[in-house]
Chain A
Amino acid sequence: MTRQMTGAKMVIEALKDQGVDVVFGYPGGAVLPIYDEMFQQNDIKHILVRHEQGAIHAAEGYARSTGKPGVVLVTSGPGATNTVTGIVDALMDSIPIVVLTGQVPTFMIGSDAFQEGDTVGITRPCTKMNWLVKETDKLAGTIHEAFHVATSGRPGPVLVDIPKDVQFATGTYTEKAAARTAHYAPRTKGDPEMIARMVELIETAERPVFYTGGGVINSGDRATELLRDWAEATGFPVTSTLMGLGCYPASGKSWLGMLGMHGTYQANWAMHDCDLMLNIGARFDDRITGRINAFSPDSTKVHIDIDPSSLNKVIHTQVPIVGDIAEVLEEALALWKSRGSRVNREALAKWWKQIDEWRAVDCLAYKPGVHAIRPQHAIARLEALTKEMDRYITTEVGQHQMWAAQYLGFEGPNRWMTSGGLGTMGYGVPASIGVQIAHPDALVINVAGEASWLMNMQEMGTAVQYRAPVKQFILNNERLGMVRQWQELLHGERYSSSWSEALPDFVKLADAFGCKGIRCDNEADLDDAIREMLAYDGPVIFDCIVEKHENCFPMIPSGNAHNQMLLGDADTQGVIGAKGAVLV
């Protein structure tokens, strides 16, 4: 049975067949036929954003909090180019996103038509794959293939560019099962020989550490469970990258906290001094490694990743394993158990004693606020008052993001949405809306800085329109805090363009958007103000006035090693050398 329909109808049918329930988008001339079909059905909900960049970040929030691909629908030209930042963001953080863009009719392509842009050309380097569909008969199959590519192997963004005449024309619908997908089948099963070597290393390791990343979360709940089982059974310490937070519970006894540039003292020292590093789904990012030639000098490194190009890209690993994390862990755990579940208990006890000494440094301690609220305290109170709730956190990018990663605890995966690889300011507001759309009854908080928050604040209109009760928790220091911190440490305290002048009155702004505004500027009122935010049934903009010159610590300065951490302002004199200065 073949089904004939217009291209526009095919888009809707293909999305339904893929199980899509929400599309984030913005209409325009080149997608009007699709929007017309969208209007005539009720299975897929369309969320009208206020800017196409918001659509992508909202889809990212949706995808990361559900494990399903996020879908975006925008028009040609500016509609498509406005999505580029978000597409790169999704590529860097391995988020499955399917972007559908309208295009001028095929017979006008190349003529500099109104709202024409070379969308596949522009997005070629920043998508996993993209397609320009020139025949209606191929449209449905291409969309199915796009979903397959976005969600298989290492997830990522894909884009399908659909000319307007292809949307109007009638063609044959390709069923999901008949679509071409076999050509793209990344390897998921690990090499048994390498898995055996990993198990042997685990049995004898004296100072092991699990270095876990976003790949664990992308692999799915089974991977998270297996990691927890194994950490529990071995008693090995666990740390995570920014992207991996939640794959091991923050309340777990083996938890060291986040590692990396602003990671904890114990996590970074454990990475530096370990003799066995088990990298599970992380990619040795430069925020993690610090100076490459001083990175964990005495360890044997195991690296499990579904993307072969991640292996040996930055750091040489003795035991590289290409495969899906859940599959590899399943096999490795079974093998380890069958060999008697052995670990070197005696050495491990000594290792934990050492780790406890590092923990005793209490690297996240901070002084109480004098003139204003300490930002760390604001996050710590937010944690205390919300940690028992069904809570999802998004962030913007900067100091507040690092403080959120340090002071909030995540018990499960898919609860923490942040722009890691690309570091996209403006991510958090739309991402929080995407999360809230996916989880209407949950508490969704965007921890923000005032500068980042302004970058996509227009999406508050979206939040109000769709009654998404997102809580915007803005740490307002009237500074581009992280830029300011680097200028202080590196550029002779010349604060070039790193302050926020002419800020809006956030409470009035909230009022103007039709949501609730709260301002808090002293620690005594903070808990009550947070409670007021949580109690309000609707979007809230919370303007938390914090200490203006607080720096984010601990910190591994650029070009330094993990055992050269700064713990506070007193440590900062002349710390970044010539080579570190060229790094960001």
Chain B
Amino acid sequence: MSPLNIQKGASKHSAYDLRDPNAEVIETHTLAVIVDNESGVLARVIGLFSARGYNIDSLTVAEVDHLGHLSRITVVTSGTPQVIVQIKAQLERMVVVHRVHDLTMEGPNVQRELALFKVKGSGEHRIEALRLAEIFRANVVDSTLESFVFEMTGPPQKVDAFAELMQPLGLIEVARTGVAAISRGV
């Protein structure tokens, strides 16, 4: 945003200054949020992020403990250190939230996502796509005479890299699950 230059009596301005006065370095954190598995929980967590202007880079959710009615939300978010701490505090005080793990702070962790790529092409492009898929250990899960669907799991960077390589080879569609993450060791 450009600096505001408002004369006394001017009226073209917004109601709030939205710039962060303490802007610092932006960090990306992966949080594992253990919540009650009941209706509306996901809306509650997503609503918190949108209401307070926090970023969601990726978000996944699924039940992980059927008997305990617990779901695990893995959310990748970014912000200044102060914002990250605030996000955790805001999540922790929600009634439906049992625990918040900041995997990024808690040590080494494994991050994986599943992606499906539809690549259309023929001739050399088709062969090159297959060769690259092999290098990336992507599996062919559907094939027609003019297309492939590749399946791949890996950290998001690997998925990004594969998508970039497939782009000139006829990539027409991508489906990604978003990140699931867990800490290493016990």
State the A residues within 8 Å of B (CB): 120-121, 124-125, 128-129, 132, 149, 153-154, 183-184, 186, 292-293, 307-309, 311-313, 316, 490-494, 559, 574, 576, 578-579, 581-584
A132 close to B21 (CB less than 8 A): no
Would A576 and B8 count as touching, CB distance under 8 A?
yes
Other 9 A-B pairs with CB < 8 A, given A154-B93, A582-B4, A582-B6:
A129-B95, A309-B92, A309-B93, A312-B85, A490-B8, A490-B9, A491-B11, A578-B6, A579-B17
B157 at the interface (CB under 8 A from A): no
The answer, yes or no, to whether B98 is at the interface (CB within 8 Å) is yes
Listed A/B pairs (16) with beta-carbon separation below 8 Å: A125-B48, A125-B51, A129-B94, A132-B40, A154-B93, A307-B93, A308-B93, A309-B89, A309-B93, A313-B89, A493-B9, A576-B8, A578-B6, A581-B13, A583-B16, A584-B16
The B61-113 residues at the A interface (CB cut-off 8 A) are: 82, 85-86, 89-90, 92-96, 98
With beta carbons under 8 angstroms apart, the residue of B4, B11, B43, B89 that contacts A308 is B89
Q: Give the B interface residue count (CB, 8 A).
A: 34
The CA-CA distance from A581 to B4 in the complex, in Å, is: 9
Whether A124 and B95, one on each chain, are in contact in the complex, defined by CB atoms closer than 8 angstroms, is: no
Instruction: Give B87's nearest chain A residue, CB to CB.
Output: A309
Question: Is B25's beta carbon under 8 Å from chain A?
Answer: no
- Hey, which bits of chain B sit against chain A, CB under 8 A? 3-6, 8-11, 13-17, 21-22, 36, 39-40, 43-44, 47-48, 51, 82, 85-86, 89-90, 92-96, 98
Query: What chain B residues lie within 8 Å of A491 (beta carbons)?
Result: 9-11
Q: How far is the CA of A307 from the CA of B39 in the complex (A)?
A: 25
**Could you tell me if A582 and B9 are in contact, using CB atoms closer than 8 angstroms?**
no
Question: Using Cβ atoms and an 8 Å threshold, which residues of chain A touch B21?
Answer: 292-293
Closest CB of chain B to A572's CB: distance in Å?
Answer: 10
The interface residues of chain B, by DSSP majority, are classed as loop
Residues of B close to A494: CB separation below 8 A: 9
CA distance A124 to B39 in the complex (A): 12
Whole-angstrom CA separation of A581 from B10 in the bound complex: 9
Inter-chain contacts of A308 with B (CB < 8 A): 89, 92-93
A583 close to B17 (CB less than 8 A): yes
Q: Which residues of A contact B44 (CB under 8 A)?
A: 124
A120 partner residues in chain B, CB cutoff 8 A: 40
Complex interface: chain B residues within 8 A of A584 (CB): 15-16
- B40 CB contacts on chain A under 8 angstroms: 120-121, 124, 132
Contact call A578/B4, Cβ cutoff below 8 A: yes
Closest chain B residue, CB of each to CB of A584: B15
Residue of A nearest to B91 (CB): A309
- For B8, the closest partner residue in chain A by CB is A574
How distant is the Cα of A246 from the Cα of B92 in the complex, in angstroms? 31
A316 vs B98: C-alpha distance when bound (angstroms): 27
* Cβ-closest chain A residue relative to B47: A125
Partner of A128 from the list B17, B85, B95 (CB cut-off 8 Å) is: B95
Give the chain A neighbours of B47 by CB distance below 8 A. 124-125
**A312 close to B39 (CB less than 8 A):** no
Q: Which among A124, A125, A492 is the interface contact of B8 at CB below 8 angstroms?
A: A492
Residue of B nearest to A154 (CB): B93
